[in-house]
Amino acid sequence: MLKSAIRLLVSAAVLTVPAGAAFAHRQWMLPSTTIVSGTDSWVTVDLAASNDLFYADHQPGRVESIKVWQPDGSEGAIQNAARGRYRSVFDVKLDKPGTWKIGNENSGVAGTFKVDGVEWRLGGRRGPAPVAVAAGAPASPANLTGGRTAPPSVETVADIPANATDVKLTETISRNEIFVTVGEPTTTVLKPTGRRLEFDPVTHPDELVAGEPAKFRFLIDGKPAAGVKLTVVMGGKRYRNAEGAVDYTTGADGVATINWPEAGMYWLNATASDDKSTTPRVSQRRLSYIATVEVMTP
């Protein structure tokens, strides 16, 4: 009876989880500092995904994808990288004056399509490999997978057969960046590349002060992006009752004006979607940009 009661309580708890809770894990990088004064300095960066921002409780990030841009735009390097149970960590030696950029870019394609009326999948969790179907047997997912009902899958867009129908593919592209300044801020690493969703700040991200609004511009493929959704959350949510997220939307010039109620580390997430993917057979593109910025006291 006791075990049955426990199972019922667990089931009830699962049913009362708020909608969207399964997608609450956020990616973030947290630098030990964003402003230093000398060229013999270091920054240590935590990289993880978690429920509460900047509190590692879910899974570590992949340091293999991290890149460093020095103030002159040339490539730098990470050092002392390590992966723990809940977070990864690495160092960057800051031996040149100006603003450094540290981050990564990830992309992938996922979706579904049909072959002879059978639904297949691209990306995501892979189903079992297809098996031979007896002559005359109907083409069904169960037959194609040896009696198992998980849909068959392929690894890349190029693997989709030419006769596939009902192709519904989405490309997902995300950037995650931080900025660290040695001495006076510079802007070389802030120059946009003209590709995908980018951060093109009017206010320098290492010159943010509580009580002073900042103007942040976002571009898509090099053009000002109107209607980009931007969510700003201050760190330390674990120690307050409300998350305190504030939502903004960029104007026709791609700019959103952000208010900083108090000093601290803030997480920014800009999102947009369109149908302008350059990958063949992809009908939708989802774009995301993440940054962690530090707001100082006046």
* pLDDT tens readout for residues 230-259: 999 999 988 988 889 999 999 999 999 999
Per DSSP (E only), the strands in the chain are 26-31, 35-36, 41-50, 59-60, 67-69, 79-83, 88-94, 98-115, 118-122, 153-154, 165-182, 197-199, 208-209, 214-220, 223-224, 229-234, 246-249, 255-258, 264-274, 284-296
* pLDDT tens readout for residues 168-178: 999 999 999 99
Residue with tokens 């307050």: 240
Return all residues near 291 (Cβ < 8 A) that are at least 6 apart: 176, 177, 178, 179, 199, 205, 267, 268
Question: Model-level pTM?
Answer: 0.82
Mean pLDDT score, 102-117: 94
**Are 112 and 124 a contacting pair, CB within 8 Å?**
no
Residue with tokens 């429920």: 51
Mean pLDDT score, 142-165: 76
**Are 18 and 281 a contacting pair, CB within 8 Å?**
no
Q: Measured on CA atoms in the order 45, 50, 51, 57, is the torsion positive or negative? A: negative
**pLDDT at residue 4 tops 80:** no
Per-residue model confidence (pLDDT) at position 124: 56
| Domains (range + CATH), the chain | 21-107+171-296 (2.60.40.10), 111-168 (no CATH)
Residue with tokens 């109620």: 261
